[in-house]
Amino acid sequence: MILPLDRAVAELVRDGDTVAMEGFTHLIPVEAGHEVIRQGRRDLTLVRMTPDIVYDRMIGAGCARRLVFSWGGNPGVGSLHRFRDAVVNGWPRPLELEEHSHAGMANRYAAGAAGLPFAVLRGYAGTDLVGRTPTIKPITCPFTGEELAAVPALNPDVAIVHAQRADRSGNVQMWGITGVQKEAVLAADRALVTVEEVVDELEPVPGQVVLPSRVVSAVSPVPGGARPSYAHGYYVRDNDAYRAWDAVGRDRDRFTAWLRDEVFGAAGGPRTPDRAPGEDREEQTA
Amino acid sequence: MILPLDRAVAELVRDGDTVAMEGFTHLIPVEAGHEVIRQGRRDLTLVRMTPDIVYDRMIGAGCARRLVFSWGGNPGVGSLHRFRDAVVNGWPRPLELEEHSHAGMANRYAAGAAGLPFAVLRGYAGTDLVGRTPTIKPITCPFTGEELAAVPALNPDVAIVHAQRADRSGNVQMWGITGVQKEAVLAADRALVTVEEVVDELEPVPGQVVLPSRVVSAVSPVPGGARPSYAHGYYVRDNDAYRAWDAVGRDRDRFTAWLRDEVFGAAGGPRTPDRAPGEDREEQTA
Amino acid sequence: MTATASPLSPSPSTADADEVMTVTAARALADGSSCFVGIGLPSTAANLARRTHAPDLWMVYESGTLGASPDTLPLSIGDGELAETADSVVPVTEVFNYWLQAGRIDTGFLGAAQIDRFGNINTTAIGDYDAPAVRLPGAGGAPEIAASCGRVIVIVRQSPRTFVERVDFTTSVGHGGGPGDRERLGLRGAGPVRVITDLGVLEPDPATRELVLTSVHPGVTAEQAREATGWDLAVAPDLATTPAPEPHELAVLRSLTGRG
Amino acid sequence: MTATASPLSPSPSTADADEVMTVTAARALADGSSCFVGIGLPSTAANLARRTHAPDLWMVYESGTLGASPDTLPLSIGDGELAETADSVVPVTEVFNYWLQAGRIDTGFLGAAQIDRFGNINTTAIGDYDAPAVRLPGAGGAPEIAASCGRVIVIVRQSPRTFVERVDFTTSVGHGGGPGDRERLGLRGAGPVRVITDLGVLEPDPATRELVLTSVHPGVTAEQAREATGWDLAVAPDLATTPAPEPHELAVLRSLTGRG
């Protein structure tokens, strides 16, 4: 149940899988993404509401064949250049897109978590997403006759999220902005949770979401594993690192060098606390 | 915003309204129900997953024309005899029934809260509820072709819930088992919340649900207002009172006397803390 | 194996019929499995299992308490004790949608006012729905427990009024009208795999899905069980006798129920 | 009303174009109303409003923070500051379903990479979707903000590349093709009621729903605004001049953005 990150990724993430790494700005499983890159996974369908820099890196590293998403930007900064390069130029390989809105994606996860084949929402009407995205279909209310939008459930092969804590039985506790992580984990066949720490007892915290161990396949202790995103109560969002990513991601060579130094350079499993990922920021922005 | 219970009920609950009083075993707004009885409301459509003794009393007092529900019993004890008497014998007046399952009711509230006309669930298939309850219809998944059940949204005229605390602006805080109260409040046009106490500041509590004041029409301080149900952190469930209700509710005369003494005898607004409703238990069971 | 006196069982050393029923139900719960627990006998059986052979039984109550481990038997499915001891307390929408409907619960426990030869259950009304002889509480969580739990165990006292040829109202589907009906209806769980009564145990015939008497409790005859059944109850050729409660099971059960 | 020097505005006393745009947007938010806030200029405008005329503006960020009141401007819609200061933090499913879709938000703020004469917005791709000249971030929360907020205010810098006859991709619906289209599509909010740019303010004509220049910022001419528009922009007969930022508005804005 509690496994080092490299073993957990090796066991749970397979070539060709549909992988959902969630975390809405907060608690993004960045280090787990780096481990997937290190292990050279290919042909993944990456699912995520806000691809963010973790998917920018995975796409740039060639892990992904397809992206299911709703907003692919660098929050507060601008574009994701590796994502753009893959979509516009097919580098390092073409990237198929399946685009939804946030509301659609959130409801797709919720349907997946609930064992339903689809979800219903007031959404998409009049937008060009309707024609472009085959996973949006009309549905009529059997009581009022209103037409609404239906979207199919998302049921990833594996969900990966980051949380503040787990206990030794693998019960997971997160708090602060918890996004759609609960739904992503419940919707997936397998779930990997990286955590800041493993503790004896999960002291209740206001706003907490607890994922019972029976829906968690593996917990990996990865302190700092969300950096440059943040872990409420542990460290703050490294906004400078997000800004600095713009220049790195913009240039193929610079990105490739970054990948070599910062991801493969740290090979051999997850980084240890004495060399937390956040400490690389200075090099990264240099 | 903060109003005495009698004024709040006078302003928010009208004859003929659809009223949802929720609280899943915990935090049942019993005193608010008594106030509705005192004010002589008639022709109400009462909505509640588990009618419990509060609706037994309101039905026995003649407030209700119709009941929308999923389980009408005295939890852990047995039947609700006023409910039975109304259904089987039409005393004190006939009671129309609209029956669902818990899953259906919960999803109906959720659809109402979400501004959707209906909800979808795996439910009811093969049961006789399908033929008896016109608010259950089939719906086909546009992606898989599977047939599921659709139920219409519940949007009560007024929701009434009990909570532990509110602040002076009317933000409401509850914790422990919170059932479908959030959904019921969000689904309703108007919402009345009775609380154990009004405080200056809502100190965060693990497991809390906070209802922002903008979705609350009125808050009424009613300490002990959930008795013989309970308020986590304030008082425990009075299981003896639930058991004792069986004998009172079973007999029309005894019920009528109880109503006269315990509900109308306390007329003139909500009971004050020095005569909390729970203290009546001895008389009630005598 | 016979119920002889033991230091752990101070009161009458022979289990009564309800006790045999409850112990038999408890034994049906595997350690580490998850169980959707209704109030009354199911809750007693699940809590007994957790205190005997299944310490890691994961109990879910429909109030939203996941992994509750109460010190005392709750009277309602929403007692404060359940929330205080749960791994997580979730809204009622989530317990039904994310846990039950999603197929995450191994065993569902149901009671019944009527049960028929195919394990269909009535908890709604006896007689005509529109003019019932007896109005019962209704569906509650039962239809979806019967549909979505991995399997269902029914606990109900046996009598011809309860065990009927055909239920007056199908609140929760067992095996419908026979083989293939659950599949046709899209019900994902296996349905009732065992009906545990105060007289014995009934299980669906693998081919016909009709309930068959497979075990009688100590001291009960097949004929007594047949007389307490409103249809022509079939008896398994290898009819067993239910193992009597062990002294320690009985002692724990009595400490839970306050008898003993 | 002219931007003269004041003790509260230490840096250049004349507001620049972005500042006029932001202050004008802030003024559009009524005290006590609710606002769905995107990051960037909308967040700056909403936080400015809350510190000036609208202390009870209720800000909702799509990360699930309801009633956030950050001390500093967040960089992302999910900064920790938002969660710490919120009345309530809810799951993303709830913010979209229970709050936005249910019609509980008065004003939605949107930006745009392209906006057309009917206020339709593109944030998906410039050029052909399958072989885009520029790939943009995509929809995010915008389609449903545009559909379900009571009204929408768009904040976007004006240029012919941005203000186009017809958007390459309709990510979020404004007034569709003209009168009645929102109703036909079942969109419940009023749609874009104001487009605030660095040059002036555009509002939909009540009859045709086409965007019309109704105000120019101080020092800007209608012709400049028309030249920065990719269609033949109509000018309101009673064209106004946007009231210049007050010194205290400018001072607060600059304290927020770190300029000044």
Which CATH number goes with the domain that contains B83?
A: 3.40.1080.10
Closest-approach residue (CA) in chain D for B186: D98
Q: Among the residues of D34-79, which ranges form H helices?
A: 41-51
Pairs of CB atoms within 8 A across A/C: 31
**Phi/psi-derived region of residue D235, left when phi > 0, alpha when psi is between -120 and 50, beta in every other case:** beta
Question: Does A127 sit within 8 Å of D172, measured CB to CB?
Answer: yes
Residue C113 near residue C10, CB atoms below 8 Å: no
A143/A253 same-domain check: no
| In a domain? residue A286 | no
Is there a single domain that holds both residue B249 and residue B132?
A: no
Contact between chains at A113 and C97 (C-beta distance less than 8 A): yes
For residue D61, list its beta bridge partners.
Answer: D37, D65
D183 a catalytic residue: no
**How many domains does chain A contain in total?**
2
Catalytic residue numbers of C read 62
Phi first, then psi, for residue B152 (nearest 5°) are -75, 155
Q: How many CB pairs under 8 A join A and D?
A: 172
Same domain, B148 and B160: no
Q: Are residues B12 and B148 in the same domain?
A: no
Of B102, B123, B237, the CB nearest to C147: B123
User: Which structure tokens are listed for D17?
Assistant: 């174009």
H helices of A13-79, in order, are 30-38, 52-60
Residue written as token pair 């019962």: C136
Q: Are residues B132 and B169 in the same domain?
A: no
3-state secondary structure chain B: CECCHHHHHHHHCCCCCEEEECCCCECCCHHHHHHHHHCCCCCEEEEECCCHHHHHHHHHCCCEEEEEECCCEECCCEECHHHHHHHHHCCCCCCEEEECCHHHHHHHHHHHHCCCCEEEECCCCCCCHHHHCCCCEEEECCCCCCEEEEEECCCCCEEEEEEEEEECCCCEEECCCCCCHHHHHHHCCEEEEEEEEEECCCCCCCCCEEECHHHCCEEEECCCCCCCCEECCCECCCHHHHHHHHHHHHCHHHHHHHHHHHHHHHCCCCCCHHHCHHHHHHHHHC
- Chain B residues with CB under 8 Å of A139 CB are 139, 142
Please list every residue in chain C whose beta carbon sits closer than 8 Å to the beta carbon of residue A182. Answer: 98
Which pLDDT belongs to residue A261?
A: 95
Same domain, A90 and A133: no
Q: What is the pLDDT of residue D198?
A: 97
Q: What chains are in contact with B, requiring at least 3 Cβ pairs below 8 Å? A: A, C, D
Q: D91 — contact with chain B (CB < 8 Å)?
A: no
A210 in reach of chain B (CB within 8 A) = no
What distance in Å separates residue B12's CA from the closest CA in chain D? Answer: 20
Q: Is residue B252 situated within a structural domain?
A: yes
Q: How confident is the model at residue B268 (pLDDT cuts 50, 70, 90)?
A: very low
Residue A201's closest chain C neighbor by CA? Answer: C87
pLDDT of residue B153: 98
Q: Do B212 and D102 touch (CB under 8 A)?
A: no
Chain B residues with at least one Cβ partner in D under 8 Å:
113-116, 171, 182-183, 186, 210-212, 214-215
pLDDT(D113) > 80: yes
Show the domain range for A245: 5-100+154-267
Average pLDDT over residues B98-119: 98
- Interface mutation target, options A101, A109, A140, A208, chain D, most CBs of D under 10 Å: A101
Q: Does A146 touch chain B (CB under 8 A)?
A: yes
pLDDT of residue B173: 98
Answer yes or no: do A40 and A56 share one domain.
yes
**Minimum distance, in Å, between the CA of residue B267 and any CA atom of chain C:** 30
What is the nearest CA distance from A59 to chain B, expressed in angstroms?
29
pLDDT band per the 50, 70, 90 thresholds, residue C98: very high
Are D87 and B116 in contact (CB < 8 Å)? no
The ipTM assigned to this model is 0.94
A272 occurs within a structural domain: no
User: Which of C76, C77, C187 is opposite residue B125, by nearest beta carbon?
Assistant: C187
pLDDT at residue number C39 = 75
Answer yes or no: do D104 and B215 touch at CB < 8 A.
yes
| D76, A24 contact by CB (below 8 A) | no
| pLDDT, mean over chain B | 93
Indicate if A167 and A88 belong to the same structural domain.
yes
pLDDT in tens, D69-96: 998 888 887 888 888 899 999 999 999 9
Residue A284 lies in a domain: no
Comparing alpha-carbon positions, the chain C residue that sits nearest to B180 is C92
Helix, strand, or coil (residue D68): strand
> Do A92 and A190 fall into the same domain?
yes
Ranges of beta strands (E only) in chain A are 18-21, 44-48, 64-69, 73-74, 78-79, 96-99, 118-121, 137-140, 147-152, 158-167, 172-174, 190-199, 209-211, 218-221
Tell whether the model's pLDDT for residue C3 goes beyond 50.
no
With contacts defined as CB-CB under 8 Å, which chain C residues touch B107?
93, 96-97
- State residue C260's pLDDT score: 56
DSSP class per residue in D101-128 = ITT--SEEEE--SEEETT--EE-SEEEE
Tell me the chain A residues in contact with residue D91 when contact means C-beta distances shorter than 8 Å. Answer: 178-180, 182-183
Q: Which residues of B touch A205 (CB under 8 A)?
A: 206
The catalytic position among D19, D62, D246, D249 is D62
Burial class of residue D155 in the structure, from the number of CB atoms within 10 Å of its CB (0-12 exposed, 13-18 middle, 19+ buried): buried
State the nearest Cα–Cα gap between A173 and chain C, in angstroms.
10
Determine, for residues A207 and B208 on separate chains, whether the beta-carbon distance falls below 8 Å.
Answer: yes
Question: B173-188 pLDDT, tens per residue?
Answer: 999 999 999 999 999 9
Q: What is the mean pLDDT of residues C155-178?
A: 98
> CB-CB: which of A117, A121, A148 is closest to B146?
A117
Question: What pLDDT shows up at residue B51?
Answer: 95
Pick the CATH number of C17-251 from 2.70.210.12, 3.40.50.360, 3.30.70.2190, 3.40.1080.10: 3.40.1080.10
Chain B, nearest residue to D32 by Cα: B214
pLDDT value for D87: 92
Which residue in chain A is spatially nearest to C99 when comparing CA positions? Answer: A114
List chain B residues with CB under 8 Å of C92: 24, 49, 102, 106, 179-180
Contacts of C87 in chain A (CB under 8 A): 171, 210, 212
pLDDT band at D11 (very low <50, low <70, confident <90, very high): low
How would you write the pLDDT of chain A (286 residues) with one tens digit per residue?
Answer: 899 999 999 999 999 999 999 999 999 999 999 999 999 999 999 999 999 999 999 999 999 999 999 999 998 899 999 999 999 999 999 999 999 999 999 999 999 999 999 999 999 999 999 999 999 999 999 999 999 999 999 999 999 999 999 999 999 999 999 999 999 999 999 999 999 999 999 999 999 999 999 999 999 999 999 999 999 999 999 999 999 999 999 999 999 999 999 999 854 444 443 333 333 333 332 2
Q: pTM for the full model?
A: 0.94
d(CA B102, nearest CA chain D) in Å: 20
**Could you read off the pLDDT of C102-145 as tens digits, one per residue?**
999 999 999 999 999 999 999 999 999 999 999 999 999 999 99
Portion 108-127 of B in contact with A at CB < 8 A: 115-122
* B70 and B96 together in one domain: yes
Check if the beta carbon of residue B177 is closer than 8 Å to that of residue C65.
yes
- Contacting residues for D95 by C-beta, under 8 A, at least 6 apart: D60, D62, D63, D64, D66
**Chain D residues within 8 A of A126 when measuring between CB atoms:** 170, 173, 176, 181-182, 185, 187
C residues 139-178 lying closer than 8 A (beta carbon) to A: 148
Same domain, B132 and B161: no
Most confident of B252-261, B269-278, D7-16: B252-261
Q: Which of C188, C154, C150 is nearest to C171 (CA)?
A: C154
**D106: its two tokens:** 């008065």
B182 CB neighbours in chain D (<8 A) are 98
Interchain contact, A103 vs D100, CB within 8 Å: yes
Judged by 3 or more CB pairs under 8 A, whether C touches D is no
Per-domain boundaries in chain C: 17-251
The more confidently predicted of residues C115 and B77 is C115
pLDDT at C258: 84
Contact D58 B212 (CB under 8 A): yes
Q: Are residues B92 and B131 in the same domain?
A: no
The pLDDT-based confidence of D6 (bands split at 50, 70, 90) is: very low
What pairs with residue C247 in β-bridges?
none
pLDDT tens readout for residues C215-240: 999 999 999 999 999 999 999 999 99
What 3-state DSSP class applies to A110? helix
B204 in contact with A at a CB cutoff of 8 Å?
yes
Mean pLDDT across chain C, nearest whole number?
93
Tell me: pLDDT of C155 over 80.
yes
Q: How far does the CA of residue B107 sit from the closest CA of chain D (Å)?
A: 13
Is C63–B24 a contact, with Cβ atoms under 8 angstroms apart? yes
